């Protein structure tokens, strides 16, 4: 039985890897995705087997006018004896003149693979994305500019979108694969599918301390992919401290032979310090600080990210089914 489900996992993984790409801009990813996998994968919905709500705010490359700012609200829970996960998320993102507002509902169905609590989840996220441009920041000198005909300077444009994912969790490790922003028709706002691959494991040090190494791979098959290497230390089930190293992969087949192309993949390189504190059984806060490992650090273009979360429900039996991922 377990082999059959694992085979399904691998087949779906290959299907996502084969997904055809189109032109697009890079998707939004928070540095604190390790604390709430719903940011990356709809199959994570209901994973913690309790109601969970999280607010994330990211101010990227502070002190630059028009730099990306993002805020997101994520809510999820479980039902039907924890076999069905449901949730939703709202995200507002602004980069320069472009404004994006997304509304999504998330669904996940879980299959129990063994008596130890290993589970395989299949996730789907469907919603709408609103696109608009800030007219106060747009200056057009040419009356034939295609922006005038796009409609983006008038009423906002709505487009459907959807994400899919699979998530395997064991008491000692987890694997996740998801495809995001799969709808391609966005007129002048270039977007293309995103592939996210995550893996994490747990290394007990002693009853009070736990180490969690993880890796995150992001690719859109057009621009340069990136890899995050993370390591977290959990102390007495109350504090997570982590270090993240992000590195762009300069694939020659995709790298533009221009200064701009070189600058793009190098701009992905960063070192991030993360912390999450459980103020109580139901309240937690988090903070992440990104330090760019390129020319951006010469002008102190750092990134700040803040998280506030609330949970409600029965405490999970950590011995059989730990929920550390």
Q: At residue 183, what are phi and psi to the nearest 5 degrees? A: -85, 130
In the chain, the percentage of residues whose pLDDT exceeds 90 is 51
Q: How far apart are CA 10 and CA 19, in angstroms?
A: 14
How confident is residue 186, by pLDDT bands cut at 50, 70 and 90? low
Residues whose CB falls within 8 Å of the CB of residue 270, separated by 6 or more in sequence, listed in order: 244, 245, 246, 290, 291, 292, 293, 303
- Kindly state the average pLDDT of the residues 170-182: 93
What domain range is 105 assigned to? Answer: 2-125+162-312
- Does residue 302 form part of some domain? yes
Residue 95 maps to a domain: yes
Domain containing 169 — which CATH number?
2.40.160.40
Asked, for residue 134, whether it belongs to a domain, the answer is: no
Q: Is the pLDDT of residue 272 over 80?
A: yes
Kindly state whether residue 143 falls inside one of the protein's structural domains. Answer: no
Give CA–CA dist 277/40, Å, rounded. Answer: 21
- Within a domain: residue 142? no
Q: What are the tens digits of pLDDT across the range 64-105?
A: 777 789 999 999 999 999 999 999 999 999 887 788 899 999
Per the domain annotation, does 324 fall within a domain? no
What confidence category does residue 187 fall into, taking pLDDT thresholds of 50, 70 and 90? low
pLDDT of amino acid 281: 86
Is the per-residue pLDDT at 145 higher than 90? no
Q: How many domains does the chain have?
A: 1
**pTM listed for this prediction:** 0.83
**Structure confidence at residue 150 (pLDDT):** 54
Q: Is residue 133 part of a domain?
A: no
Report if residue 7 sits inside a domain.
Answer: yes
Among residues 211, 241, 120, the alpha carbon closest in space to that of 174 is found at 120
């Amino acid at each position: 039985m377990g082999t059959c489900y694992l085979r399904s996992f691998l087949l779906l993984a290959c299907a996502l890897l084969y997904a055809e790409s189109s032109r697009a801009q890079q998707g939004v990813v928070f540095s604190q995705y390790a604390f709430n996998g719903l940011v990356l994968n709809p199959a994570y919905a209901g994973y913690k087997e309790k109601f969970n709500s999280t607010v994330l705010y990211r101010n990227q490359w502070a002190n630059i006018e028009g730099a990306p700012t993002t805020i997101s609200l994520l809510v999820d829970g479980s039902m039907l004896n924890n076999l069905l996960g449901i949730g939703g998320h709202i995200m507002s993102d602004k980069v320069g003149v472009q404004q994006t507002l997304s509304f999504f509902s998330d669904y996940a169905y879980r299959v129990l693979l063994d008596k130890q609590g290993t589970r395989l989840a299949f996730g789907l996220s469907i919603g709408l994305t609103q696109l608009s441009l800030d007219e106060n920041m747009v200056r057009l000198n040419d009356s034939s500019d295609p922006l005038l005909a796009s409609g983006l300077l008038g009423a906002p444009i709505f487009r459907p979108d959807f994400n899919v994912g699979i998530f395997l969790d064991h008491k000692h490790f987890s694997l996740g694969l998801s495809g995001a922003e799969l709808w391609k028709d966005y007129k002048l706002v270039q977007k293309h599918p995103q592939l996210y691959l995550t893996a994490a494991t747990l290394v007990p040090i002693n009853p009070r301390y736990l180490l969690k190494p993880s890796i995150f791979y992001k690719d859109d098959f057009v621009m340069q992919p990136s890899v995050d290497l993370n390591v977290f230390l959990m102390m007495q089930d109350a504090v997570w401290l982590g270090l993240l190293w992000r590195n762009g992969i300069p694939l020659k087949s995709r790298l533009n032979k221009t200064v701009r192309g070189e600058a793009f993949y190098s701009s992905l390189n960063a070192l991030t310090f993360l912390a999450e504190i459980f103020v109580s059984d139901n309240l937690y806060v988090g903070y992440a600080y990104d330090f760019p490992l390129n020319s951006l650090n010469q002008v102190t273009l750092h990134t700040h990210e803040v998280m506030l979360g609330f949970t409600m429900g029965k405490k999970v039996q950590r011995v059989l089914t730990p929920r550390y991922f």
